[in-house]
Amino acid sequence: MAHTPFPRNVAHPTFTVARAREWHAVAVAAEEPPERQLRVMPWWLVLVGLVVAAALGWLVLGLLLAEADRAGQPDTRATLRIDAIRTGLTVVAGTGGGLALLLAARRQWITERAQRHQESVAARDQAHRDRVQAHAEAVAEAAQRHQDRQSAAAEHDAAERRLTELYTRAVELLGNDSAAVRLGGLHALERLGQDNPRQRATIAAVLCAYLRMPAPDGEPRETEVRRTAQRVLTRHLRADDANRWPELTLDLTGAALVDFDATGCTLVDATFTGATFTGTTTFAGATTRGPLLLGAATFGDVSFEGLAADGAVLLDGVRVGGLASFDGATFAGELSCRRSSFAGLTSFRRVTFGEPSSFDATRFEDATTFREAVFDAALSMEHTEFGGSANFHSVRFRHMALFRWTLFGAEALFDRARFTDAANFGRARFHRMASFRDAQFSRPPQVDQARAMVDLGHRWPAGTVVERLDDEWLLLVDR
């Protein structure tokens, strides 16, 4: 028998077992073909059979008696009539017996049919009970799942409401007039992020937005509040911190930062464009993934020592008022430091530049050193100004190095430098001694129209043609 699916609402918790039975009864009635109806034998049919048997016996008896009267002698006629009567009764009895046998056979057939019907009904009833039981179990399971989902949804809604309330309350504390209350709001946000990893990016964005806002006037303790906000961010960006929040993106465009310390932090797509860094700023030992944008930022003292930059680093328009150290840094991506200004001592000792680097139109007001640096790609220092000494001792230039229009206001030291590719010093200006002692060039450097002050102990590359321009200047000419 083919299975008829239950209605679509059987999985609903309100679809009970009783209703399932009703649906099953309807389905069974629709599926099963009707059995041939058993007709009940009418009573008159039995009466007709008896009458026929009696008539047959009477007919046979009449024929036998007539034959006995014709054929028998007077002395044997009585015997023949008795035999005829006995034979007629035998015919009646035989006919009645045949009729009784037919009725008995019919009774047996009806009994067997009833037995088969009972067995079929019992089998269908058992199958029906099995289906009802299976459906009841499915309904119960669906109801349990529905209840579990409702319970989980209720718990989730309660947790989200509580989280929203905590978040809203903490943000409200940040807007309080009291510095102490704002500090409490910062710590509340930090704890909220520590307990709820999915909220960390949002909390970091809120802290960055707070630092981007101007400091309130007449609030001397705001500096401590901002330092705390900075520490909350950098504390969870350090690789050695057990509570590190990975993959945070910092957007501190135009922010006012005080003694910003990102030592050992991992910075992902960090933006500090136009930020103002006061005090001492350090990115020492930090790792960047993606670009590090510091364009137009302002620094006091700043350290990038040991920085490992995987992406591009943008320092265009940077203003550094104090010391700047990039010692031991690695720039795997492009470094752009155009139109920047460094007022104090600047050091790029043992720095590795993996991609093209540009310092075009940048001014170094004090002594600057690139000692033992390695430029694996092109370097451009066109229109760059060195107010103090420029030290390129033992630097490796493995690609083209451009120093066209570069102004060396103090000593320019290229001792033991190695130029694997072209070197161009066209129209450069050497206001103090220029030294290329033991420098190695794969091809003669281009010095077209470069100038140097007279009699300062210059040490030019071998083969350099120097002409006297006037009493103060020498002119370097390409061969």
pLDDT tens-digit profile of 435-451?
999 999 999 999 989 99
Closest CA to 91 of 132, 131, 63, 128: 63
Is residue 147 domain-shared with residue 231, that is, in the same domain? no
Higher pLDDT, 214 or 433: 433
As a whole number of angstroms, the distance between CA 417 and CA 373 comes to 10
Is residue 372 domain-shared with residue 283, that is, in the same domain? yes
Of 105, 134, 151, which residue is a domain's last? Answer: 151
Is residue 131 domain-shared with residue 242, that is, in the same domain? no
Of 105, 129, 151, which residue is a domain's last? Answer: 151
Q: Is residue 221 a part of any domain in this protein?
A: no
Higher pLDDT, 216 or 432: 432
Given a cut of 90, whether residue 100 has pLDDT beyond it is no
Is residue 248 domain-shared with residue 141, that is, in the same domain? no
pLDDT value at position 261? 96
**Model confidence at 239, in pLDDT bands (50, 70, 90)?**
low
**Model confidence at 71, in pLDDT bands (50, 70, 90)?**
low
Which tokens sit at 246? 């990975």
Is residue 147 domain-shared with residue 230, that is, in the same domain? no
Mean pLDDT of 447-474: 90
Mean pLDDT of 251-260: 95
pLDDT tens-digit profile of 274-283?
999 999 999 9
pLDDT value at position 378? 97
Nearest 10 degrees: CA dihedral of 80, 86, 87, 92? Answer: 150
Mean pLDDT of 12-27: 52
Is residue 319 domain-shared with residue 442, that is, in the same domain? yes
pLDDT value at position 12? 46
Read off the pTM.
Answer: 0.70
Q: Is residue 211 a part of any domain in this protein?
A: no
Closest CA to 182 of 252, 236, 232: 232
Q: For residue 263, how many C-alpha atoms fall within 13 Å in the half-sphere facing its CB? A: 7
Given a cut of 70, whether residue 22 has pLDDT beyond it is no
pLDDT value at position 47? 73
pLDDT value at position 172? 84
Q: Is residue 255 a part of any domain in this protein?
A: yes
Would you say 451 and 473 are in contact if contact means Cβ atoms under 8 Å apart? yes
As a whole number of angstroms, the distance between CA 437 and CA 391 comes to 13
Q: Is residue 159 a part of any domain in this protein?
A: no
**Amino acid at position 79, single letter:** T
pLDDT tens-digit profile of 393-406?
999 999 999 999 99
Higher pLDDT, 74 or 459: 459
Least confident window among 2-11, 136-145, 184-193, 454-463:
2-11
Closest CA to 353 of 333, 338, 369, 336: 333
pLDDT value at position 389? 96
pLDDT value at position 192? 87
Closest CA to 246 of 287, 282, 307: 287
Is residue 141 domain-shared with residue 235, that is, in the same domain? no
Would you say 364 and 391 are in contact if contact means Cβ atoms under 8 Å apart? no
Q: For residue 467, how many C-alpha atoms fall within 13 Å in the half-sphere facing its CB? A: 10
Of 151, 166, 194, which residue is a domain's last? Answer: 151
Mean pLDDT of 314-321: 97
Would you say 68 and 80 are in contact if contact means Cβ atoms under 8 Å apart? yes
As a whole number of angstroms, the distance between CA 135 and CA 6 comes to 9
Is residue 131 domain-shared with residue 266, that is, in the same domain? no
Higher pLDDT, 304 or 110: 304
Given a cut of 60, whether residue 429 has pLDDT beyond it is yes
Given a cut of 50, whether residue 9 has pLDDT beyond it is no
Is residue 141 domain-shared with residue 238, that is, in the same domain? no
Q: Is residue 196 a part of any domain in this protein?
A: no
Q: Which of 14-28, 61-75, 145-159, 259-273 has the highest mean pLDDT?
A: 259-273
pLDDT value at position 106? 77
Higher pLDDT, 6 or 390: 390
Q: How many domains does the chain have?
A: 2
Q: In what order do the strands lie in the sheet with 412-413?
A: 280-282, 301-303, 324-325, 346-347, 368-369, 390-391, 412-413, 434-435
Q: Is residue 1 a part of any domain in this protein?
A: no
Q: Give the single-character DSSP code of 238.
A: B
**Model confidence at 10, in pLDDT bands (50, 70, 90)?**
very low
Mean pLDDT of 250-259: 94
Q: Is residue 177 a part of any domain in this protein?
A: no
Is residue 266 domain-shared with residue 138, that is, in the same domain? no
Is residue 25 domain-shared with residue 140, that is, in the same domain? yes
pLDDT tens-digit profile of 363-422?
999 999 999 999 999 999 999 999 999 999 999 999 999 999 999 999 999 999 999 999
**Amino acid at position 192, single letter:** L
Is residue 144 domain-shared with residue 231, that is, in the same domain? no
Work out the mean pLDDT of the chain and round it to a whole number.
86
Domain carrying residue 95: 8-151
pLDDT tens-digit profile of 121-146?
999 999 999 999 999 999 999 989 98
pLDDT tens-digit profile of 162-192?
767 767 787 788 888 888 898 999 998 888 8
Mean pLDDT of 332-337: 96
Given a cut of 60, whether residue 285 has pLDDT beyond it is yes
As a whole number of angstroms, the distance between CA 292 and CA 156 comes to 38
**Model confidence at 218, in pLDDT bands (50, 70, 90)?**
low
**Model confidence at 7, in pLDDT bands (50, 70, 90)?**
very low
**Model confidence at 32, in pLDDT bands (50, 70, 90)?**
low
Given a cut of 70, whether residue 272 has pLDDT beyond it is yes
Q: Is residue 75 a part of any domain in this protein?
A: yes
**Amino acid at position 337, single letter:** C
As a whole number of angstroms, the distance between CA 267 and CA 276 comes to 18
